Chain A
């Protein structure tokens, strides 16, 4: 198996790495870079647990091949907090408003929420639901997650 030499920006830092051609982005993050915050729930792009931001857009990293991220900017859940260690407002609202139960969908939800707020700072409930419709949650029933994203919007 041939390897690819990749360079990209990950969570504001330059990364240079060689991986097999067929490496999925989710495996590059979790296994090669040991960033296990990004989860795998289905492997077919249906559950959103593997959501990361690729050049600002939320994508299912289980459907992205490593080669596709050459020269791009990636944000994972590990890159959401501020550099001084403070929580991002969306992390604070998730924490304070009961939006976290088992936590497996949480990284993907936060990233989808973050991407939405960057594009639409004052979303309606329906717009929030649409933005996270690709992130399955089995624990919360979504109510507290929608409320947390709305609260984060108010704070940003």
Chain B
């Protein structure tokens, strides 16, 4: 399934360029930074889910020795912003909702920022927080989106056009779903409730800000999107963009969507404190703050209606999503567009329709989380397809193969489907997991009262950029220096996904040098072209395309220069491993030619701006599970993750992305959930109560890479970063159906939930 290639480094498992620093413990993250004169900031957060700040007295805090600044809504800018990089949506065109201030006078969730202090050390800052006196007027809270839509519920924001709805509902349709439903032989209608998941990146939200006497603001943070982060800060503080610099220091301790834009509110709070105190300020969230006061994944409700004919051909699909947006907009106005796009582009269905919106509630804001807008509809849709398979007494794999979309089919996405290896993913994955054994499992399961085995499958796709739903463009600057070493600069970041190495490989391949000769500058608004950030699994596909463009440009410059110098034809000249060849004869070295160019006032350098297009990557996951009928515990004995990623530039990095994403999917399936108390308090706000998979919880994961090539991607590559999260839960839940006959419409499948499902209230055991 992997094509034989004549590439030098594309497709090679070269060790990551950032790994050495990291294994030595010398990699610097924002939490490691220490600047001369640096102060420590701490934030006072609302203890109430919904209240008005009636009075706030900071005098005692200000008087405390060692305190250099105390800020509230009274002495900071009231400029509204959206902490996420969501800026404009292009289909349909509208501006994002800007409903946040640095410090609010109406608190809308437990954790909302009310005040902050900067002091000479953390202990003093913490003491100062305790000295701030706040009088709140309690307002009624609401936590559930369905409740928040009721007219009697409190209004959480004054600007909503419809009761507590964030932005505008999103609708998509093709064909005539209503009439087609009437004409279907079978109609399924299922309701799903999806949990709130947290990114749980290991480095919490943090920022260090410094404001110099020149009026320039410099902010170090683990943002995934320095350029959008800069834009947001410039708007908040009314600064010109070129007076704001945002950078990673250079490493980011994971992100998974929690910091596409601002990192919580660490950057603006640190900046405001730095401006007020006249000294640099570091604000580092502790883990509890990270849980309660930075974006979660959207939980909510999805309804699926699927109509099919007797042979199992899907005729109509209607999806409705109502998501819990939490207290502030963040990505809530965008996410439903993704939900619809994910659900309606997997199967070939003549009549489709989608409606979705997010609703404000007094809970932690929901935003972007790995598998954005994919995890929720994939579970809902795939479980409905499983139900359809049950109804038709058809193999769920066969039912999927019958209905999956193929390149050239009509679909609702605003870009063409140029390639898809989904069929191969399903076929190879099925072989790998041993899908034919599925029909024997029922009989085998009868031999044991306690342990039941099951096999499940689920499929899906994900984008490779934000285009055309949001503006998505990027750029690269590449220079060959006078000693033959190479400098490459791009505006996105290295947050662990391997961007640095992947871009170096693409540049190296095109230029004809070793990746080790390329210094890759990322994560800094200074000296890099604009980029919308690491999101939408776009880094390799879009920035890689920009890098390819400039590398080809520079290679042509070099070859033309050599041709000019030597009189040989440009077509005969190539660069390989920093050597210049005419045909098979080596004539020069790259170093010789750049030195010559330098002597003659020439440098080989290019800037390229790239306007992104889009392409979907495809995946099929298979799960073999053992269910313990006594405890309800579901163990995934084996997971097969088959992915069509176009082309793996670095298979090690790609497999790492798939395995990591799959384990996040495993957590979503089996144990991760943030629930709230009746008083609006997160019940799962640390690693003791929020159950992340450990190494001991993860069984074998087999990754299969399918590489049909993507015409629009650099060397045929498409995105992969988010794809592996979504299919795990429905594959696992599908296996549970196979093992027990019980369909779960709710996640996660904790032992308690599974037991309740296996033994309904009546006390009788459900059987298959």
Contact residue among A44, A98, A141 (Cβ-Cβ distance under 8 Å from B698): A141
Interface locus among A2-10, A31-39, A64-72: A31-39
A78 to B686: give the CA distance in the assembly, Å.
Answer: 28
Residues on the B chain within 8 Å of A134, using CB: 694
Q: How far is the CB of A129 from chain B (nearest CB, A)?
A: 4
**B688 engages A44 (CB within 8 Å):** yes
**A143 engages B694 (CB within 8 Å):** no
**A136 engages B692 (CB within 8 Å):** yes
Contact residue among A43, A102, A128, A132 (Cβ-Cβ distance under 8 Å from B287): A43
A20 to B652: give the CA distance in the assembly, Å.
Answer: 46
Interface locus among B27-35, B525-533, B704-712: B27-35
**B664 engages A140 (CB within 8 Å):** no
Residues on the B chain within 8 Å of A30, using CB: 32
Given A49-B202, A102-B254, A104-B202, the answer on whether A37 and B286 have CB atoms closer than 8 Å is no
Q: How far is the CB of A92 from chain B (nearest CB, A)?
A: 8
Contact residue among A133, A135, A138 (Cβ-Cβ distance under 8 Å from B200): A138
Which residue from chain A places its CB closest to the CB of B689 in the assembled complex? A46
Residues on the B chain within 8 Å of A74, using CB: none
**A39 engages B653 (CB within 8 Å):** no
**B660 engages A138 (CB within 8 Å):** yes
Which residue from chain A places its CB closest to the CB of B659 in the assembled complex? A141
Which residue from chain B places its CB closest to the CB of A143 in the assembled complex? B659
Residues on the B chain within 8 Å of A97, using CB: 652
**B695 engages A133 (CB within 8 Å):** yes
Given A141-B662, A142-B698, the answer on whether A102 and B656 have CB atoms closer than 8 Å is no
**A145 engages B24 (CB within 8 Å):** no
Given A103-B251, A140-B656, the answer on whether A146 and B695 have CB atoms closer than 8 Å is yes
Q: How far is the CB of B466 from chain A (nearest CB, A)?
A: 22
A135 to B693: give the CA distance in the assembly, Å.
Answer: 10
**A46 engages B698 (CB within 8 Å):** no
Residues on the A chain within 8 Å of B255, using CB: 102
**A110 engages B23 (CB within 8 Å):** yes
Residues on the B chain within 8 Å of A40, using CB: 31
**B16 engages A140 (CB within 8 Å):** no
**A95 engages B20 (CB within 8 Å):** yes
A145 to B22: give the CA distance in the assembly, Å.
Answer: 14
Cβ of A61 under 8 Å from chain B: no
Contact residue among B25, B32, B286, B686 (Cβ-Cβ distance under 8 Å from A76): B25
Contact residue among A41, A136, A137 (Cβ-Cβ distance under 8 Å from B203): A41
Please name 7 further chain A to chain B contacts, defined as beta carbons within 8 Å, in addition to the given A38-B25, A41-B202, A101-B496, sorted by A numbering.
A42-B687, A49-B202, A94-B19, A98-B655, A102-B495, A132-B695, A136-B694
Interface residues of A (CB under 8 A from B): 30, 34-44, 46-47, 49, 76-78, 80-81, 87, 91-92, 94-98, 100-107, 110, 128-130, 132-146
Closest 9 CB pairs of A and B: A37-B25, A102-B496, A103-B22, A77-B25, A141-B659, A104-B253, A46-B687, A141-B663, A101-B496
